Amino acid sequence: MTTFAVVQEAQGFLAANPDIELIELFILDANGVPRGKLLHREELLALYQSGRPLPSTMLGLSIQGEDVEDTGLVWEVGDIDCRAYPLPGSLVRLPWRQIPTAAVQVSMHPSEGLPATPADPRQLLVRVIEQLEAEGYHPVMACELEFYLLDQKRDAQGRPQPALDADGSRPRQTQVYGLRELEQIEPFLKDLYAACKAQGIPARTAISEYAPGQVEITLEHGPALAAMDQAVRYKRLVKGVAHAHGMQACFMAKPFADIAGTGMHMHVSLADGQGENLFASEDPAGTPLLRQAVGGMLASLLDSLLLFCPNANSYRRFQANSYAPLAPTWGVDNRTVSLRVPGGPANTRHIEHRICGADANPYLAAAAILAGIHRGIREALDPGAPVEGNGYAQATEHLPTQWSAAIQALEHSEWAREAFGEAFLKVYLAIKRAEYRQFMGEVGEQDWRWYLSNA
């Protein structure tokens, strides 16, 4: 059951932040785009006391922010008001804003938010977690998000280009794991880590990734819902801090055809009621429960691929020898497979899900991962032997490289209907079908690729 924040939280925040003038209220839509309203300080307490009505259409929009009539959230319900309430711990300052501004995340109320509640991605994740917890499994997750730091100005041909380094030069080399590359973006990292600390987001290791201007920062693991809340707010924060530094943070899955794509690696394990890792094992391949979890994720991979890879551009990332996934495979300490069991001490044993592009909605991706795990446990699925060596060379079947195939797979999946519910699927599939039609018939590929960079 979703827990909402109490009014004392808002009262304490206002007392501690007397300069705050505006509050950015937001909810995350199906595409992972934060949408909402800008409130004045005087409106905050009412939000905590009685919620805020939001139009039903807010959760039935395409990536362009246009109504999708087939969602059932537009004309047939009269664009009805649906009441949303603030989430605990989400009221934080936005340090990059010129006017003193805070942000607060809201979610649809289970009953007062109808008919939009089933379309709320966070509510879907809540339901999937509750089903696991009812059987004694408490999911623990962490998120690694890659992104490009781009110049706000395009090059002479109108194409995106890496942002300038601190010394005024423009990155041209890959230099993966390069320390100089991190040093050159130190002003950005300084402000980013400070903002993360202020917002309670556990940002940890930063690395220079496998392309000029590409960065990855890891977030610490924790209860699955809290971890995805942090991932959502972190992504918003990265974009805001980058903008303040004259840059654009791009989370597209494949912004450049000839260099590395951008992923969102999800780390997952299950704990018991006392917080002990149920995947913990001296065996590098983990416990039988871990292998059942892998089996379930592999069995449901195609059916849920649209939640991991939601856009046309997402499928350009699937290339051999690119450190991106290519096939429904798993392995132990092997980065050439889709599902990796990292090495390390027995108590840290977990699964790294490497399929998502950075354009995926963290709530929906996590819901699909956990629903797959639940399936594997219930059906005691065997994933087969782990891949050893080069998984790209050994792949006998491949992930689809066409967006339409993923849309059709989700549309025809009985497992997805049971796992996610008919109401959610109606909205999500309507949005994706509308975007696909526009992609195929109305929008040039270049335009489509670059307005997605803002998603």
Kindly report, residue by residue over 236-293, the tens digit of the pLDDT: 999 999 999 999 999 999 888 888 889 999 999 999 999 999 999 999 988 999 999 9
Rounded CA-CA distance 288/32 in Å is 34
Q: For the segment 300-319, what is each residue's pLDDT rounded down to a tens digit? A: 999 999 999 999 888 888 87
The position carrying tokens 């972190």 is 234
- 331: which strand partners? 340, 387
Q: Could you give the CA distance from residue 286 to residue 281 in angstroms, rounded to a whole number? A: 5
pLDDT tens column, 406-429: 999 999 999 999 999 999 999 999
Distance CA 455, CA 239 (A): 10
User: Tokens in use for 263?
Assistant: 């992923």
Spatial CA neighbour of 63 closest among 374, 398, 447, 334 = 447
Phi, psi for residue 194 in degrees, rounded to 5: -65, -40
Indicate the number of domains in the chain.
Answer: 2
* Nearest Cα to Cα of residue 354 among 294, 413, 407, 402: 294
Nearest-10 crossing angle of helices 224-244, 121-133: 150
Together in a domain, 138 and 92: no
231 to 124, 146, 261, 359: CA distances (angstroms)? 16, 12, 19, 12
Angle (CA) 64 69 72, round 5°: 125
30/140 same-domain check: no
**417/355 same-domain check:** yes
Q: Residues 6 or more apart from 385 whose CB is under 8 A from it? A: none
Same structural domain, 10 and 83: yes
Which of these three, 113, 136, 163, is where a domain ends? 113
**Total count of residues recorded for the chain:** 455
Tokens representing 434? 């509308």
Indicate whether 233 belongs to any domain: yes
Query: 189: phi > 0 → left, psi -120 to 50 → alpha, else beta; which?
Result: alpha
Token representation of residue 174: 């890959």
Quick check: helix, strand or coil at residue 160?
A: coil
Residues 150, 214 share a domain: yes
**Cβ atoms of 217 and 145 closer than 8 Å:** yes
97 and 182, same domain (yes or no): no
Q: Which residue range forms the structural domain that includes residue 45?
A: 5-113
User: Are 253 and 390 members of one domain?
Assistant: yes
CATH label of the domain that carries residue 67: 3.10.20.70
Same-domain check for residues 167 and 266: yes
Scanning 17-117, the segments in alpha helix (DSSP H) are: 44-50
Q: Is residue 444 part of a domain?
A: no
Report long-range pairs for 129-137 (Cβ below 8 Å, ≥24 apart). 129/224, 129/225, 129/370, 130/1, 131/374, 132/270, 132/370, 132/373, 132/374, 135/374, 135/377, 136/272, 136/273, 137/270, 137/271, 137/272, 137/278, 137/374, 137/377
* Residue 285 and residue 399 share a domain: yes
Closest listed residue to residue 142, CA positions, set 89, 211, 207, 201: 201
- Reduce the secondary structure of 333-402 to three states and give it as a string: CCCCCCEEECCCCHHHCCEEECCCECCCCHHHHHHHHHHHHHHHHHCCCCCCCCECCCHHHHCCCCCCCC
Q: Which amino acid would we find at residue 132? A: L
Q: Which residues contact 195 (CB under 8 A, 6 or more apart)?
A: 95, 96, 237, 240, 241
CB 270 within 8 A of CB 289: yes
Listed residues 113, 141, 171: the one ending a domain: 113
Which H or E run includes 445?
helix 445-452
Angle formed at CA 42 by CA 36 and CA 47, multiple of 5 degrees: 50
Which amino acid is located at 296 in the chain? G
Q: What is the rounded distance in angstroms from the CA atom of residue 286 to the CA atom of residue 341?
A: 8
∠164-146-157 over CA atoms, to 5°? 40
Strand partners, 25: 37, 104
Do the domain assignments include residue 47? yes
One digit per residue, the tens of pLDDT, for the chain of length 455 reads 679 999 999 999 999 999 999 999 999 999 999 999 999 999 999 999 999 999 999 999 999 999 999 999 999 999 999 999 999 999 999 999 999 999 999 999 999 999 999 999 999 999 999 999 999 999 999 999 999 999 988 888 888 888 888 888 888 878 887 888 888 999 999 999 999 999 999 999 988 887 888 999 999 999 999 999 999 999 999 999 999 999 999 999 988 888 888 999 999 999 999 999 999 999 998 899 999 999 999 999 999 999 999 998 888 888 766 667 878 899 999 888 999 999 899 999 999 999 999 999 999 999 999 999 999 999 999 999 998 888 677 767 788 888 999 999 999 999 999 999 999 999 999 999 999 988 887 555 444 454 444 44
Instruction: Judge if 177 and 87 occupy the same domain.
Output: no
157 shares its domain with 13: no
- Asked whether residue 446 is domain-assigned, the answer is no
> 101 and 50 in one domain?
yes
Q: In this structure, is residue 264 part of a structural domain?
A: yes
